[in-house]
Structure 1
Amino acid sequence: MRIESTQSFVAAFQALPMLKSLDEYYPDLSHWYINTVVPGLVLGNDVLLLAREGQHTVGLALGKRSDTERKLRCVRVLPEAQNTGIGLKLIETMFEELETDKPHCTVAEEMLGLYSRTFVNRYGFALNSVDKGRYRPGKLEYVFN
């Protein structure tokens, strides 16, 4: 397994299907990805990491690096590749790309159990706030760093 950083327009669109399952937590995620992230990748403001086994993509991470913000936007690993350390490797590689080990990130309430222990215990992330309705009416979003 290898982790690749890419600014490829083609790779960015090939990664889109891995993000589709997040639409239920982040409405219009595909629109945001195509209109915000893809241009940011081309301009060098955003980071796309792909975890590959051979030619097969098994995971990805999205990050944002600007003068005002370093953000871990997303980490996704295919179900068959979960619990193998790929997600941790993606996160740690993103720290290198963003030049910080405490990037800003948010987590939907339904996904908090998947991420909070790793974020807090392994990486020392700090929970800054809990926002209600940030992305979906009545739903909580946990804000770290």
Structure 2
Amino acid sequence: MQIEATRSFVEAFMAVPLLKSLDELYPELSYWYTNTVIPGVVLGDDVLLLAREGGRTMGIALGKRTPTERKLRCVRVVPEAQNVGVGLRLIERMFDELETDKPHCTVAEEMLGLYSRAFVNRYGFQLSSVDKGRYRRGKLEYAFN
């Protein structure tokens, strides 16, 4: 499996289907991705990593890299490539791209069980806050680093 960074508008747009399932956790995520992240990827402020095998995209990671912020925004892996280390490889490559092993990131309460063990035990992330209603009314968002 290869993991590559891209600044291609076309490749960034082709990642939309992998993110679509997150719209229920992050309202308007597809709109935000199309109108904020894709231009950032093309301009180089945002990082898009693609994990590919045999020409097929198996996972993606999004990051934000500005002079004032380093953020791991999202990691998504197709169901058939989950639980085999693809997500971890994407996260570790993103550390290189962001030039930090402790980027800021947030996790929805429904996803905390999926990410917290790796974030805390493997990478030493520190929980910095828990916000109610940050992205969705009445729902918790856990912020690290």
State the TM-score bracket (shorter-chain normalisation): over 0.9
Question: Alignment RMSD, CA only?
Answer: 0.4
Q: Secondary structure at the match of 1:27?
A: coil
Aligned length: 145
Q: Secondary structure at the match of 2:83?
A: coil
TM-score scaled by length of structure 1: 0.99
Alignment of 1:57-68 (within 5 A): 57-68=57-68
4+ residue stretches of structure 1 with deviation over 3 A?
none
Tell me the CA shift for residue 42 of structure 1. Answer: 1.0
* Correspondence for 1:71: 71
Tell me the CA shift for residue 3 of structure 1. Answer: 0.2
TM-score scaled by length of structure 2: 0.99
Q: Secondary structure at the match of 2:39?
A: helix
> Does 1:37 find its partner at 2:40?
no
**Cα deviation 1:52-76 (Å, max 9, x = unaligned):** 0011000000000001100000000
Residue type of the alignment partner of 1:101: D
* Correspondence for 2:109: 109
Alignment of 1:74-89 (within 5 A): 74-89=74-89
Identity between Structure 1 and Structure 2 (%) = 79
Residue type of the alignment partner of 1:100: T
* CA distance, structure 2, for counterparts of residue 8 and residue 43 of structure 1: 10
* CA distance, structure 1, for counterparts of residue 123 and residue 19 of structure 2: 24
**Cα deviation 1:41-99 (Å, max 9, x = unaligned):** 11100000000001100000000000110000000001110011100000000000000
* Correspondence for 2:135: 135
List runs of 5+ in structure 1 lacking aligned partners: none
* CA distance, structure 2, for counterparts of residue 13 and residue 38 of structure 1: 7
